Amino acid sequence: MRFKNSLWVLGAIVVLLSCKKGPEKTMVAAHEPSQNLHLMEVADVISAEGEDTFLLIDFRTAEAYEKGHIEGALNFWRPHIEDTSYAYKGMMAPKKQIEALFSKLGIQNNDHLVVYDHKGSSDAARLWWLLQSYGFERVSILNGGYQAWLDAGGKLSIEPIARSTSTFTLPEQEGLHLWIDHESLVGRLPNLDGIVLVDARTADEYSGKRKKEGAAKAGRIPGSVHMDWANAIDLEGSHKFKPLPQLQAIYGGLGASKEDTLIVYCHTGVRSAHTTFVLHALLGYGQVKNYDGSWSQWSHLNELPFEKDSITLVNK
């Protein structure tokens, strides 16, 4: 009896020690994904296979999806979440459009969406930002996206999946703390005290050397500083976000405090949604706003100010 009790005590000690050591083994990535539900690792998703914990969203073109996708992933892309009533592209779709789309796809209100793309999460971040803006917080980005899944040997499929239609509704209370429109931005331009205006495009777009398709002219919003969205990603390798210390060093170059307001824009609000994700979800800046419409809209509104440093040489 005493021998059995000793074995029981020994087993309990082993279990307790194993539990104590567990967290130390999981703290590998600098961003600590287990503590940050905005960002999921491939291993987190694979370990939950068969548990209906997550619903994977393949946020790429239908053509890319048909060539191969993560097993069990639903597919839709950027045009499905855009408001096409404007003369320029990229505006956020109204709530009713999102609710109709998600209901048709069979997405439930209690689903936790894990979104991926194959572009370093720039497209995925746009969907994350839109849903956050409408108050739906059960959404994460898959770190490294499709490339990371391939590298990990995750299961792939070429078969589409179909769910029964649902009645999806977004929360009545919108979370527009990550959103800003051009009217609100114009009102802040005369005095940027406590505000850092970030242009997340390429250096050529920022200088005015390049005018991307869809813009009415080249240039930038006055007072903005340049920070290419791709600085945050290992774009030539894993497609994952860089480790937290590197991100802190990179974005520390903006000179912003955690109390400052950071307003981010790009061409159509996609790359700037990615930078918004980095600043808010990974680095913890509390006042970050993505300008919906971004340069595509701003360049079409002739009454708005702009500046440029270069003759425009590239029009595409």
Read off the pLDDT of residues 278-293 as tens digits, 9 standing for 90 and up: 999 999 999 999 999 9
Mean of pLDDT values over 138-151: 97
pLDDT of residue 8: 35
What proportion of the chain, given as a percentage, has pLDDT over 90? 77
In-domain check, residue 163: no
Q: Is the pLDDT of residue 13 over 50?
A: no
Q: Is the pLDDT of residue 255 over 80?
A: yes
Can you read off the two tokens belonging to residue 17? 């020690």
Q: Is the pLDDT of residue 3 over 80?
A: no
Distance from the Cα of residue 308 to its chain's centroid: 28
In-domain check, residue 209: yes
CB neighbour list of residue 148: distance below 8 Å, 6 or more residues apart: 42, 142, 238, 239, 240
Range of weakest confidence among 13-22, 104-113, 258-267: 13-22
Q: Is the pLDDT of residue 28 over 70?
A: no
Residues 116 and 194 in one domain: no
Strand partners, 114: 56, 140
Residues 143 and 197 in one domain: no
Contact 144, 255 (CB under 8 A): no
In-domain check, residue 21: no
* E strand residue ranges, 132-277: 139-142, 156-157, 179-180, 195-199, 210-211, 225-226, 261-265
Strands 69-70 and 156-157: antiparallel
Residue with tokens 């409408």: 134
Residues 69 and 196 in one domain: no
User: pTM of the prediction?
Assistant: 0.87
Residue 30 banded pLDDT, cuts 50, 70, 90: very low
Residue 261 banded pLDDT, cuts 50, 70, 90: very high
Report pLDDT digits (tens) over 67-79: 999 999 999 999 9
Residues 187 and 78 in one domain: no
Residues 130 and 254 in one domain: no
In-domain check, residue 249: yes
Residues 112 and 195 in one domain: no
Contact 289, 182 (CB under 8 A): no
Mean of pLDDT values over 218-246: 96
Residue with tokens 């490294």: 144
pLDDT of residue 286: 93
Residues 132 and 262 in one domain: no
The CATH code of the domain that includes 128 is 3.40.250.10
Contact 182, 263 (CB under 8 A): no
Give the structural domain span for 291.
176-315
Strands 261-265 and 195-199: parallel
Q: Is the pLDDT of residue 14 over 60?
A: no
In-domain check, residue 229: yes
Strand partners, 87: none
Query: What's the number of CA atoms in the CB half-sphere (13 Å) around residue 296?
Result: 21
Q: Is the pLDDT of residue 199 over 60?
A: yes
pLDDT of residue 1: 37
Residues 52 and 132 in one domain: yes
Number of domains in the chain: 2
Contact 222, 305 (CB under 8 A): yes
In-domain check, residue 18: no
Mean of pLDDT values over 94-122: 97
Residues 114 and 181 in one domain: no
Residues 117 and 216 in one domain: no
Residues 180 and 306 in one domain: yes
In-domain check, residue 139: yes
Final residue before a domain boundary, out of 92, 125, 157: 157
DSSP notation for 251-273: HHTT---TTSEEEEE-SSSSHHH
pLDDT of residue 176: 83
Burial of 112 (0-12, 13-18, 19+ CB in 10 A): middle
In-domain check, residue 308: yes
Residues 121 and 200 in one domain: no
Mean of pLDDT values over 114-124: 97
Residue 51 banded pLDDT, cuts 50, 70, 90: low
Q: Is the pLDDT of residue 211 over 60?
A: yes
